[in-house]
């Protein structure tokens, strides 16, 4: 299929058939260029990564799982450099077109996977989510995307960034495909029963643009109809800014530890914004990291308190739809900070989250997210399917 939107890494469109007769037979998928595909370089969105690492000889667990259950792999998709980015703008491999909003960013770092699914180039696609890298492009491209419970899936063959926050996620255009793929990836049937209680995250809705919050209201109403009227409550009592600050302390520092040796050895090329975050990470004081670790503990406790079995929480996936492409760093930086503030609970607490499409602001998509307790991934998929049901 012709890649009219630049979703695939140049030269990395191919076809690997899945095992016949599996539950995903007939589906096609793509893999973010952070996943190993045997015999092909893992590019990681940076021209100096593959140069410094051997070509993998085995498929990543997630790739092997989809192939084993019948899906066909059709290529590797563009990612922000070494997954450090939330907008999907990559000056080396190119920035995928957002099929639902041309001229706007696709969201990242799983940019190409989201764009390929949104454009109908494949049925599903693998992404990774450390600080929002599946949730944000799902919201911006108007598709389903999941960040599973941290630690639940086997991440072997997936390039790591900040291991205490890294997850493997996936996308789909429709709820049925999303449920089929999710059942396989989670290794668990999608239940028919739904949760009974809803919490609407008042702080997250307040941080969103009013137009975005308003656009999501009909979806929230539908959730209330399915799950129960629920209550409004702040997700992060110390403030989303405090949680975001903690995540923006822990994650870049951990990423620095991950990439430090490679950077020292090869002095790789990066776009300035990526290099700057890596360069500043080792200057973060130990006292700040200690504070951030304590905030993480507290946030985990808060989520356990807020989300007993049978309760889910909803919030805007992103505070606004996709920003325009190629804006100055000084314009994008405060936008990035607000996006992070609606995503940091994932890395901090490890709870699963699904972004559900269905709203638009002036024709540009934005997603509603649902969150449940750790391990409740399949229940969230059931809710997403029920939301799509007539």
Nearest distance in Å: CB 332, a copy of itself = 8
Q: Report the nearest approach of a copy of itself to the CB of residue 94 (Å).
A: 13
Cα–Cα distance for residue pair 309/289, rounded to 1 Å: 32
3-state SS, 58-116, equals CCCHHHHHHHHCCCEEEEEECCCHHHCCCCCCCCCCCCCCCCCCCCECCCCCCHHHHHH
Near a copy of itself by CB under 8 A: residue from 268, 319, 346, 367: 268
334 interacts with a copy of itself by CB under 8 A: no
CB of 115 to a copy of itself, least distance (A): 20
Q: Does the footprint of a copy of itself cover residue 280 (CB under 8 A)?
A: yes
Verify binding: residue 283, a copy of itself, rule CB under 8 A: yes
Residues 78-97 that bind a copy of itself (CB under 8 A): 89, 91-92
Binding of a copy of itself by 257 (CB under 8 A): no
* Interface with a copy of itself, residue 290, by CB under 8 A: no
Distance from C-alpha of 306 to C-alpha of 293, rounded to nearest angstrom? 20
Asked if residue 10 binds a copy of itself (CB under 8 A), the reply is no
Give the C-alpha separation, 324 to 341, whole Å.
Answer: 20
Taking contact as CB under 8 A, which single stretch among the options 29-37, 286-294, 323-331, 375-383 is the one that binds a copy of itself?
323-331
Select from 130, 131, 129 the least CA-distant residue to 114: 129
Q: Candidates 108-116, 131-139, 257-265, 284-292: pick the segment binding a copy of itself (CB under 8 A).
A: 257-265
Task: Give yes or no for a contact between 36 and 67, defined as CB atoms under 8 angstroms apart.
Answer: no
For residue 335, state whether it binds a copy of itself (rule: CB under 8 A).
no
Residue 146 is a binding residue for a copy of itself (CB under 8 A): no
Query: From CA 300, how far away is CA 236, in angstroms rounded?
Result: 10
**Sign of the torsion formed by the C-alpha atoms of 120, 148, 302 and 290:** negative
Distance between CA atoms of residues 146 and 356, nearest Å: 9
272 binds a copy of itself (CB under 8 A): yes
**How, if at all, do strands 311-316 and 364-371 pair?**
antiparallel
Burial tier of 30 (Cβ tally within 10 Å: 0-12, 13-18, 19+): buried
Catalytic site residues? 32, 109, 133
The answer for residues whose C-beta is within 8 angstroms of residue 260's C-beta and 6 or more apart is 282
Tokens of 267: 């002095």
| Residue 55 or 329 having the CB closest to a copy of itself | 329
Among 31, 263, 339, 387, binds a copy of itself (CB under 8 A): 263
> Toward a copy of itself, which CB reaches closer, 48 or 203?
48
Q: Applying CB under 8 A, does 329 fall inside the site for a copy of itself?
A: yes
Q: Tell me the C-alpha distance between 349 and 351, whole Å.
A: 6
Q: Return d(Cα 53, Cα 16) in angstroms, integer.
A: 23
Select from 9-17, 138-146, 247-255, 276-284 the region that touches a copy of itself (CB under 8 A): 276-284
Q: Is 58 in the site for a copy of itself (CB under 8 A)?
A: no
Give the residue, chosen from 41, 270, 344, 345, that forms a contact with a copy of itself under the rule CB under 8 A: 270
Stretch that binds a copy of itself, among 154-162, 178-186, 324-332, 336-344 (CB under 8 A): 324-332
Question: Which of 89/129 has CB closer to a copy of itself?
Answer: 89
| Contacting residues toward a copy of itself, per CB under 8 A | 48, 89, 91-92, 263-265, 267-273, 275-276, 278-280, 283, 328-330
């Amino acid at each position: 299929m012709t890649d009219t939107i630049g979703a695939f890494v140049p030269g990395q469109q191919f076809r690997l058939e899945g095992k016949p007769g599996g539950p995903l037979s007939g589906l096609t998928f793509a893999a973010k260029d952070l996943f190993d595909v045997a015999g092909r370089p893992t590019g990681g969105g940076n021209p100096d990564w593959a140069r410094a690492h051997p070509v993998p000889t085995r498929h990543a667990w997630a790739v092997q799982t989809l192939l084993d259950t019948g899906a066909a792999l059709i290529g590797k998709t563009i990612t922000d450099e070494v997954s450090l980015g939330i907008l999907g703008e990559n000056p080396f491999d190119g920035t995928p077109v957002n099929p639902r909003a041309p001229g706007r960013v696709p969201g990242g770092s799983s940019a190409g996977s989201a764009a390929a699914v949104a454009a109908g180039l494949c049925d599903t696609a693998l992404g990774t989510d450390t600080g929002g890298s599946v949730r944000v492009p799902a919201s911006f491209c108007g598709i389903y995307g999941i960040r599973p419970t941290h630690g639940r899936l086997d991440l072997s063959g997936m390039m790591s960034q900040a291991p205490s926050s890294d997850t493997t996620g996936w996308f789909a255009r429709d709820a049925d495909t999303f449920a089929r793929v999710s059942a396989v990836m989670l290794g668990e049937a999608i239940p028919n029963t739904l949760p009974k209680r809803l919490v609407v995250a008042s702080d997250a809705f307040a941080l969103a643009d009013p137009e975005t919050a308003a656009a999501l209201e009909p979806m929230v109403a539908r959730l209330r109809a399915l799950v129960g009227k629920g209550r409004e409550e702040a997700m992060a009592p110390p403030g989303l800014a405090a949680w975001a600050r903690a995540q923006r302390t822990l994650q870049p520092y951990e990423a620095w530890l991950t990439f430090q040796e490679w950077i020292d050895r090869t002095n790789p090329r990066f776009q300035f914004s990526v290099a700057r975050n890596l360069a500043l990470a080792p200057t973060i004081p130990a006292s700040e990291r200690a504070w951030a670790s304590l905030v993480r503990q507290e946030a985990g406790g808060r989520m356990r308190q807020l989300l007993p079995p049978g309760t889910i929480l909803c919030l805007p996936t992103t505070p606004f739809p996709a920003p325009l492409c190629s804006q100055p760093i000084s314009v994008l930086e405060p936008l990035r900070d607000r996006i992070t503030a609606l995503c940091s609970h994932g890395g901090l607490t490890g709870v699963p989250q699904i972004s559900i499409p269905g709203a638009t602001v002036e024709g540009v998509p934005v997603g509603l997210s649902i969150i449940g307790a750790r391990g409740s991934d399949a229940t969230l998929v059931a809710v997403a399917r029920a939301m799509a049901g007539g």
